[in-house]
Chain A
Amino acid sequence: MSAFFYLFAFFSIFAATMVISVRNSVHGVLYLIFTFLNIAGLFILLGAEYIALTLIIVYVGAVAVLFLFVVMMLNIEMEAVRRSFIKYFPLGIIVVLIFIGLLSAAYMKQNQYKLNHPNTGTLITAKIETGHRSNIKELGKILYTDHFLSFQLCGLILFAAMLGAIVLTLSHSKKVRRQSIKQQTMRKPNETVQLVDVPSKAGLNVKY
């Protein structure tokens, strides 16, 4: 049972290290997807199966695919020179080790906690339920009642992100002719039809 934890943990650390150190960006994104999948497996081990599947749907299915689109759309050259990596590598290792050391020192003060039972309880409800209890059901009980405001604000955040992405990347090409609805509906009757006396064998310069 604990072998699964070590399996998922080892693969997620390995894949995360490969994300930042491969040359080809497409390979980096694929390693990122592998990281997400392993962490979803860890979440299932923790009893949060709804979060795990949401991770796969949202992170892998939306964010990583978006990364893939952008990587394939841009013309990214594979970096041939690794000089700068080696130059900063000692400093990077020192900073990473200091960071891990500081957090581990903070964690050392804790006692060892063992896992009780995965589905021990929900948030502070007096009613004890029997029967089938799933992660998504229990989450739904508090997400739409106690944390309803935060849930709605999440929707606003996503809306703002959508607006931002569209505003940043939408660009109209000047060569493509488009309708201007405002111009069409605001034309006056006296400028729609114009009677012109055309001399014979001479054309007419029509302005569009």
Chain B
Amino acid sequence: MEQATWITDISMMHYLYLAVILFAIGIAGIFLNRRNLITILMSIEIMLIAVNINFVTFSTYYSNLEAQVFTIFILTVAAAEAAIGLAILVALYRNINTIDVRKINKLKG
């Protein structure tokens, strides 16, 4: 019973492994996806939030609040990048009328 405390005691490594798995799911979402561009943007958001988990975990377990300050910056950049990415998507859709990833293969429209 003593050795199974890794189940009931949540340590820093639990959160870090969770962040790794979420980051890997985000990566898989980018290159397993042949459907639409929005899935790629959503996978990028998943990757960013996995990194956020990492930062907040380190902030808690090392009692340093600067990591949470950096989390706010990551949040800001993620929101800005999502806005610009979607604006580019809308502008692209106006030109080629599809968001299929396979069709975006011409350099000059």
A residues neighboring B (CB under 8 Å) = 1-2, 5, 9, 12-13, 16-17, 19-20, 23, 25, 28-29, 32, 35-36, 39, 42-43, 45-48, 50-51, 54-55, 58-59, 62-63, 66-67, 70-71, 73-74, 76, 79, 84-85, 88-89, 92-93, 95-96, 99-100, 103-104, 107, 110, 112-116, 118, 120-123, 135, 138-139, 142-143, 147, 150, 154, 157-158, 160-162, 164-165, 168-169, 171
Query: How many angstroms between the C-alpha atoms of A107 and B11 in the bound complex?
Result: 13
User: Which of B14, B35, B72 is in CB contact (< 8 Å) with A5?
Assistant: B14
Question: Do residues A28 and B60 form an inter-chain contact, with CB atoms below 8 A?
Answer: no
Q: Could you list some 6 contacts between A and B, CB below 8 A? A: A20-B33, A59-B49, A67-B38, A104-B20, A160-B80, A161-B84
B residues neighboring A (CB under 8 Å) = 6-18, 20-29, 31-36, 38-39, 41-43, 45-46, 49, 52-53, 56-57, 59-61, 63-66, 68-69, 71-73, 75-84, 86-91, 93-94, 99
Give the top 5 A-B pairs by smallest Cβ distance, nearest first: A20-B29, A161-B80, A168-B87, A165-B87, A84-B34
Task: Count A-B contacts at CB 8 Å.
Answer: 221
Chain B residues in 8 Å Cβ range of A160: 80
Known: A19-B29, A114-B9. 17 other contacts (CB 8 A): A2-B8, A13-B21, A13-B22, A17-B25, A20-B28, A32-B45, A46-B59, A48-B68, A71-B38, A107-B20, A115-B10, A139-B68, A154-B76, A157-B80, A158-B79, A161-B80, A169-B87
